[in-house]
Structure 1
């Protein structure tokens, strides 16, 4: 009997060691040093537990919402901890990932079967069954509250609709926030930072009238480039320079090369170019993970990185910051980065503390709400999302065959869910070796943003610097490329555009590519295959007609680039030995490398690491044997080095899980969007300029390096560790 009772106690987590003073006099004061046996917790991480009777008077004991190794306020015995992790304290059934039951981990770090705890909460129990901590968020079945039967209450719970659905766990802030003495001391500061969020985020600061001048008048500052092309430049290259009249080419490659204008230049009344340039102002929403794992150096470096962002935004740029842990909080509405705006923003960032779990979905949802509720809109809008951990709140059912990834797409801005619509990109940063790189990559991919892997703590600022260097230089929006077949019998084949949406008409006589925004100096390359029929004429054949249209961010005027004809010579007989175009061949190598990464990652996820390494090795061999590879093309050499690095990160399962997956996903993100991302923690400091980097990014990165002590900042490796592409001929 005694043995059974012991097992029951362990299952219920009753083997607790909690200090309970006999009288109120034994409660440590804030000024006195706490007793070694007393419960010592951070005021920011504490909530009020249930009152405990103690003689003639009662008292309330502070307990941490998320116990950490350093917290002594709540300790489980080793055996009790193991039992509670394996056994549901409600049904006493076993809990193991992959056994077909969704699991829920509460803010007090205790885990239960989802269906057990949802039923428990449904009947009015809002305390942890193990430690009796009052929860600030409670689990329930059903879709988000805004989507549940128009939010109508039910008989059992007047505030929650318990509609049944697929078992996804959502959270509702049910209990009022308890304010500790430390919070009360900062009540005035919290009121400035809008601690209690309104139901609608339509309190954004009005836009500044007139065009935006870059806040840095010196010529080396981002956004201040010399005069160059004023419209998007379109160039084309054919695989071969000649095709004989009698030849039939099934898949003849044509490269479409786009280059964004250098900058928008102010022209004075005297016709002279001024030294300062206008640029499109930005609405930037940063969604930052401040869970318990971010405590210490991570949070300090994140604050420094955000300080850098704030200092480099102009007076017409607006910023809003969302912090999330177990719940999400808007620190302040969209605010212009004037002098006062910067000061208040820096105060808000410095007030951040790390505690609680990781609720990525709630942080993303609140960040998107800031975007969708704003009264006024700057021409450019983007979200920066950073997280260092797994989402412990958005839980999906799992089974023994595969792990179902959370689907964050419904939380993205409405435009991002409409194919071909102008989307608001979410640029995602996976921080450290414990984040969910697959889920974070899916957010960036679905929204049109990039995914970066920050392996070293001190690299956060550089990664943010490169990102905003691009966002502050948008020169084209909603760019579409139109491709039409030339001569009557020429037909379009495939369009290889990476993650950019493309479309081909049913008759194969036309096609289009939706590119979206371009930063100043950015380049895009797309390979189009065409079927070239024989001809009886010795004149040049027109294979394609290529043009594009886009909107100028400041004026919203539509700019149309006239069609460029792609011609090829058709002699009776091709006399000389033809060489494949280097421009076309290097892009083939880039696309082949990206395809090999996808195939290799698929093998690695199946557990076939040796096969994954072999796929990359074979791709390296083909690249080095290609025409551009044999010529020593720098892009091909860099691709080879990148694939080799991925092979090394697949040496064993542990290394792949820690960094290989995230490293590969950041590379895929960079190649699929042809945009610079950051990853890793080191690189050769003598490496050449990156292929996808622009001058604005490089200059902002240099500013970050200058502002950061060299002895504390490691070098950062970029996904696009390629030299600059040679100027198209």
Structure 2
């Protein structure tokens, strides 16, 4: 550590002692009309308490290899028949972590937390995020570093960080762009870098400094890049007055998830779920590559959500950029290929060769796994049995697309149309559930999600209060195939029923961290602020 000389905070402009972790908060930051020219040869910037993580002994957990499997829409196609847009499911699964307990090795993490401490964050609205941050701090360990002044999570680092958290007070306006800009500078200027990097953004209000509704302008340029991005920004909007569209855009542009925390008491649980995932990153730079094996096969389309995909001009190859995966996370992508007529002597057609290249976080080693999609070619096929896995993914993708269509209708106040869209998709999910032997957790969760969305799109009041945020939360989760927190599920259900409700994309380490948070909240309860009353139709936002 270095000497404790005073240093001004880049956001609130107050004095901060070196050696403390300061969270990115936004307040009344002076506006700068014209940029000040930089010196010709600026000195290198680095934070004096940027701890040398390279000397830390803790390593990421060593795990097994990824699993990759393909599923054909039907196991067989008649030899003299051809198929356009034949579905092939690519299913990639990250290896599981060795253990989910607190003593197990975890992925080294650089984490910057951007907390809204504007004037609306008074009383428990600030006390609850502070409590959540204490939980986060307690569950981090070296070489993980946290906060604006990057501090390694040793005992001393945790103590100084907690003091910084407790010193936060509410006041001023909400300037999300400024907070994220400082977070970006911190990550750019750090001297030591851990394998995993992320930013967490929490806000209860609307950005009062943005001049237009292009929310991508809130995202610093390095985070908008398709390659060499510092890391994702995971956003958390809580209460009915936060700007869900802005928070969703920030997450979407950066590859993060957007969570809607309707029940303010569970802010800690939502942070716990996110941290549980970030600490279990086992795979980075994952990329799925598809090559057509048979000369007559062509790739027509790839359904990959928010993951960037491309198809070669001749349709003979395709790829999907997957990126980071938490332990046990799964990614499913639908390929649609053209299957040609088979030769008279052809008993099977090898459609595509699929490979997934990736880098192990624990060792830095490059690895590759693969599988081939093959369809049988008998003389004739009667009553073919469709793949349950492919049908399930078709339903999930269709649900995500219909949720987006319902949102578009609601944004133009066509709530009856939005309801019809959701109800129609709900019926299709229920039909699929009836044919699913033993049920299906993903379809169960989809059914519940569609029912809740239909309820909160009945009129403008409900949509503005909670509907938009719930819709965007769902779109974020499905586009990334990653869990984002569900704070309220079926108000009529009991607490036990809500906690046991199916949580899409939840991994073991995320679930373990959430249960730990829930147990602590039960042992040390903090009274939450009252839920906001429903505003009358046409009333102004506070």
TM-score, length basis structure 2: 0.85
Map 1:317-466 onto structure 2 (within 5 A). 317-321=144-148, 333-396=149-212, 404-408=213-217, 410-412=219-221, 414=222, 416-466=223-273
In the TM superposition, 1:548-563 aligns within 5 A as 548-561=356-369, 563=370
Q: 1:518 to 1:209 in 2, by over 3 A?
A: same
User: Is the Cα–Cα contact under 8 Å of residues 433 and 444 in structure 2 kept in the other structure?
Assistant: no
Q: Which residue of 2 aligns with 1:608?
A: 414
Structure 2: how far apart are the matches of 1:586 and 1:544?
A: 21
User: In 2 relative to 1, CA 549–248 (structure 1 residues): closer, same or farther, beyond 3 Å?
Assistant: same
Pairwise CA distance, 1:411:
1.0
Question: Could you say which residue in structure 1 is the equivalent of 2:111?
Answer: 284
Q: Is the 8 A contact 2:115 2:203 kept in 1?
A: yes
Q: Measured at CA, do residues 540 and 638 of structure 1 come closer, stay the same or move farther in structure 2, by a change above 3 Å?
A: same
Q: Check 1:199–1:616 CA distance in 2 against 1; reply closer, same or farther (3 A cut).
A: farther
- State which of 271, 288, 307 in structure 2 corresponds to 1:481: 288
Paired with 1:643 and 1:307, the residues of 2 have a C-alpha distance of 35
Partner of 2:131: 304
Aligned length: 489
Q: Deviations over 1:600-629 (max 9, x none)?
A: 101111111111111111111222334875
TM-score, length of structure 1 as denominator length: 0.64
Q: Provide the residue aligned with 1:184 in structure 2.
A: none
The aligned counterpart of 2:47 is 202
Name the CA distance, whole Å, in 2 between partners of 1:519 and 1:591: 21
Distance 1:337 1:628 in 2: 50
Whether the 8 Å contact between 1:420 and 1:514 is mirrored in structure 2 is no
In structure 2, the residue matched to 1:256 is: 90
- Give the C-alpha shift of residue 675 in structure 1: 0.5
In the TM superposition, residue 392 of structure 1 has moved relative to its aligned partner by: 0.7
Query: Aligned residue for 2:533?
Result: none
Equivalence for 1:654: 461
- Paired with 2:433 and 2:261, the residues of 1 have a C-alpha distance of 35
List aligned pairs for 1:16-165, cutoff 5 A. Answer: 139=31, 141=33, 145=35, 150=37
Using the TM superposition, give the Cα deviation of residue 554 of structure 1 relative to its aligned residue in structure 2, in angstroms.
3.3
Matched, 1:578 2:384: yes
**Which structure's CA Rg is the greater one?**
1
CA offset at residue 436 of structure 1? 0.7
Cα contact 1:260–1:522 (8 A) shared by 2? yes
Give the C-alpha shift of residue 287 in structure 1: 0.3
Q: 1:692 is matched with which residue?
A: 505
Residue-by-residue CA offset, 1:249-269 (whole Å, 9 max, x unaligned)? 00100111111111269xxxx
Q: What's the secondary structure of 2:216's corresponding residue?
A: coil
Matched, 1:701 2:488: no
2:326 is aligned to 519
**Alpha-carbon distance in structure 2 between the residues aligned to 1:352 and 1:495:** 47
**Structure 1, residues 414-434: CA drift from partner, whole Å, max 9, x if none?**
2x3332545510000001110
Residues 124, 527 of structure 2: 8 Å contact kept: no
Distance in 2 between residues matched to 1:630 and 1:709, nearest whole Å: 37
Whole-angstrom distance in 1 between the partners of 2:362 and 2:180 = 28
CA distance in 2 between partners of 1:208 and 1:421 (Å)? 21
- 3-state SS of paired residue (2:403): helix
Alpha-carbon separation, structure 2, partners of 1:199 and 1:531: 55
Between the two structures, name the one with larger relative contact order (CA 8 Å, sep ≥ 6): 2
Stretch deviating more after TM superposition (381-390 or 615-624): 615-624
Supply the distance in 1 between the matched residues of 2:86 and 2:506 (Cα, whole angstroms). 30
**1:412-467, Cα deviation, whole Å (9 max, x unpaired):** 5x2x3332545510000001110111011000001000000011111110000000
Shift of 1:712: 5.1
In structure 2, stretches of 5+ residues that fail to align are 1-11, 15-26, 529-542
Q: Which residue, out of 67, 80, 104, partners 1:233?
A: 67
CA distance, structure 2, for counterparts of residue 613 and residue 440 of structure 1: 24
Q: Using the TM superposition, give the Cα deviation of residue 300 of structure 1 relative to its aligned residue in structure 2, in angstroms.
A: 0.7
Please report the RMSD computed on the Cα atoms of aligned residues, expressed in angstroms: 2.5
| Whole-Å separation in 2 of the counterparts to 1:212 and 1:455 | 37
SS for the counterpart of 1:709 is: helix
SS in 2 for 1:428: strand
